[in-house]
Chain A
């Protein structure tokens, strides 16, 4: 049971890094990013490929973060010219393009067969603890650092400007600011956190294949952000824990609900998540922590 909880904790903390990034995009700046899993994939594959070629893990992680941020740059530039609905479509397309690139560029990514044998964090760093424990501890530290960094940013003049963009971009232009430069930087910043999550994921699972990076993951992260409350740092953290709690907790429904087969159970679990979301939207539309409109 302890091992199980630790494993669930690792996944929750990986998701949390992604949610913190998406929250910068949508919660604070109002950018609709439906391709978050794309940045996650870039981070995972970058670190995985470098690590299996013998690159020191901290460097591989750094490369994952930087490359994920750079991959967001063109989307940031596009976001200057696109209305918000179109940005949603373009970002979704981006993440699928990343996945198809991984499927097709076999020389680099080994295609659908994926990359096995990725060193885990304890062997990669030569630490005496188990891989899961090492990953968990490092993830806790990474999330704390991410929360501190994001808190600092959103309380700064930069943070105020992106919140102004979310409320009325044109009005900010009339005040002599250039929303474009803020949007590009926010896109890259949020993507960097997803890339970091991706690197952790690759070295935890130790095996990456393209079908781990389907759009469903993006929407899980959206659910987490909305559950917790968009535009609040605490919302991203709490929402992710709530989402993983629902996803994992519903596994135990099997023990309570009689006469349900294994296959039916999978659908029932998603049904429970859906029901929880509906109830939340009705009774607490701002999310558990309340969103930016309730501050």
Chain B
């Protein structure tokens, strides 16, 4: 088991945003998480990535209890995330957005900046090579020198994914990778996720585009009002009455 959220609760005042939620993921798993707006998906992501501290429960990653760890510490362990609204470093180029994410950079220490310029330059060459490889893979090579703020919405989504890939993560929490993305690019992003998964990267994907998501993932969790109400293969899950009712207001 790579990742587990055990019995997570989250209380905002009198409101229970997460009500004893548990999720488990195996190694290089590819799992979806769906549910209507306000179901608690984003809160669960925030708890899983360390941006919010849960009122109860534990988060376990690669056999280690990470409940008390900061978002940056979790990322360093290989638990990456993207954001629903892309948060690129607007004024940095696409290349620099990728390069800045590389872990363990000597040149982040000021002493090294002045005393070990040769080592930093050598490390930079390696990092740039890796970044260019990722940009190629995500079809961002053409825009690699552009300021990231000028990219299209879909390209920003790809860049966010690319930035996380710089960490060589074991698991990526993807927050709505298809939102606001044109259908052609949805297919492309899907394909890349599938390919990365084939190389061993796990994904937990929150998404409202049910068609694209069910084509992508092997398993799905469905949330409603802070609880997990269903779990299973996409076909199983989407066939259930409770899911249809919660998700689509029983219309479909």
**Residues 149-177 of A at the B interface (beta carbon under 8 Å):** 152-153, 156-158, 160-161, 163-164, 166-168, 170-177
CB <8 Å contact, B107 and A158: yes
Minimum CB–CB distance for B233 against chain A, Å = 30
CB <8 Å contact, B110 and A185: yes
CB <8 Å contact, A164 and B92: yes
Query: Is B108 on the interface with A (CB-CB < 8 A)?
Result: yes
A-chain residues with CB within 8 Å of residue B105 when the two chains form the complex: 157
B-chain residues with CB within 8 Å of residue A177 when the two chains form the complex: 72, 100, 108
Query: Is A292 on the interface with B (CB-CB < 8 A)?
Result: yes
The stretch of B8-16, B82-90, B238-246 in contact with A is B82-90
The stretch of B25-33, B73-81, B186-194, B223-231 in contact with A is B73-81
A-chain residues with CB within 8 Å of residue B101 when the two chains form the complex: 175-176
Minimum CB–CB distance for B195 against chain A, Å = 22
Query: Is B55 on the interface with A (CB-CB < 8 A)?
Result: no
A-chain residues with CB within 8 Å of residue B237 when the two chains form the complex: none
Q: Mark B130-163, 1 if CB is under 8 A from A, else 0.
A: 0000000000000000010000000000000001
A-chain residues with CB within 8 Å of residue B114 when the two chains form the complex: 152
CB <8 Å contact, A175 and B163: yes
CB <8 Å contact, A160 and B92: yes
CB nearest to B109 among chain A residues: A158
Query: Is B113 on the interface with A (CB-CB < 8 A)?
Result: yes
User: Contact size class for A?
Assistant: 20 to 34
Partner of A163, one of B51, B76, B92, B107: B92
Query: Is A267 on the interface with B (CB-CB < 8 A)?
Result: no
A-chain residues with CB within 8 Å of residue B75 when the two chains form the complex: 173-176
Query: Is A178 on the interface with B (CB-CB < 8 A)?
Result: yes
A-chain residues with CB within 8 Å of residue B124 when the two chains form the complex: 157
Q: Mark B156-181, 1 if CB is under 8 A from A, else 0.
A: 00000001101100000000000000
Query: Is A81 on the interface with B (CB-CB < 8 A)?
Result: no
Partner of B91, one of A157, A167, A189: A167
Partner of B71, one of A152, A160, A174, A182: A174
CB <8 Å contact, B120 and A293: no
| Alpha-carbon gap, A231 to B147, bound state (A) | 15
Q: Mark B41-77, 1 if CB is under 8 A from A, else 0.
A: 0000000010100000000000000000011110110
CB nearest to A185 among chain B residues: B110
CB <8 Å contact, B108 and A174: no
CB <8 Å contact, B96 and A173: no
B-chain residues with CB within 8 Å of residue A166 when the two chains form the complex: 91
Given contacts A158-B108, A173-B71, A175-B101, contact A153 B113 (CB under 8 A): yes
Q: Mark A181-196, 1 if CB is under 8 A from B, else 0.
A: 0100100010000000
CB <8 Å contact, B113 and A152: yes
B-chain residues with CB within 8 Å of residue A153 when the two chains form the complex: 110, 113
Given contacts A157-B105, A174-B81, contact A163 B71 (CB under 8 A): no
| Alpha-carbon gap, A174 to B100, bound state (A) | 12
Query: Is A53 on the interface with B (CB-CB < 8 A)?
Result: no
Partner of A158, one of B49, B80, B110: B110
| Alpha-carbon gap, A167 to B89, bound state (A) | 5
Task: Please provide the 5 A-B residue pairs with the shortest distance between their CB atoms, ordered closest to farther.
Answer: A157-B107, A176-B75, A171-B87, A167-B89, A176-B76
13 further interface pairs, Cβ-Cβ under 8 Å (given A158-B108, A295-B91): A156-B120, A164-B100, A167-B88, A167-B91, A173-B72, A173-B75, A174-B51, A174-B71, A174-B72, A175-B80, A176-B73, A176-B76, A292-B91
Residues of A near any B CB (own CB < 8 A): 152-153, 156-158, 160-161, 163-164, 166-168, 170-178, 182, 185, 189, 231, 292-293, 295
Sampled A-B contacts (25; CB under 8 Å): A152-B113, A152-B114, A153-B110, A153-B113, A157-B124, A160-B92, A160-B99, A163-B92, A163-B96, A164-B89, A167-B88, A167-B89, A168-B90, A170-B51, A170-B87, A171-B87, A172-B89, A173-B51, A174-B71, A174-B81, A175-B163, A175-B164, A176-B73, A177-B108, A185-B110
